[in-house]
A = this chain, B = another copy of it.
Amino acid sequence: MMQENSGHPVNPAQAAACCRPIDRLLCPELFRAIGDPTRASLLACLAKCGRPCTVTEIAACCSVDLSVVSRHLALMERGGLLASSKQGRTVSYAVRYVELAGLLRALADELEQCCERTPGSADCASDGCAPGCA
């Protein structure tokens, strides 16, 4: 109503009421799941391994207690970084490579669109989302 969809809200207050894909992509729970040194190293470890690994295996690669690793892995699964599968008494975790890479690229695309959009002409309602949804 105020601006075109191709542009920007004129100020942050208007931007806050303006719902765009970036709001969904900037999911705090997901990024928080990476934002701890122990978890980041577990994730890197698991990614580099390239296959599902058991909790015991993963715990062998860092100095913290197995129970701590178990909790970190569960948290990363809740955050959407990992997928788990249980076979007998062993639980394996694997990186959700495809989903994660897709989300990161989508976020990168959105950021660049924000950057390139013409200033001062954003229609907050035309993204299929009512104002104030953020």
Mark A residues whose CB is within 8 Å of B: 8-9, 11-13, 15-16, 18, 20, 22-23, 26-37, 39-41, 43-51, 53, 57-58, 60-62, 95, 97-98, 100-102, 104-105, 107-112, 114-115, 117, 119, 122, 134
Shortest distance between the CB of A90 and any CB in chain B (Å): 14
Contact of A48 among B8, B31, B35 (CB under 8 A): B8
Shortest distance between the CB of A35 and any CB in chain B (Å): 3
* Copies of this chain, tallied across the complex: 2
Contact of A12 among B39, B49, B119 (CB under 8 A): B49
A111/B12 in contact, CB under 8 A: no
Distance between Cα atoms of A10 and B31 in the complex (Å): 28
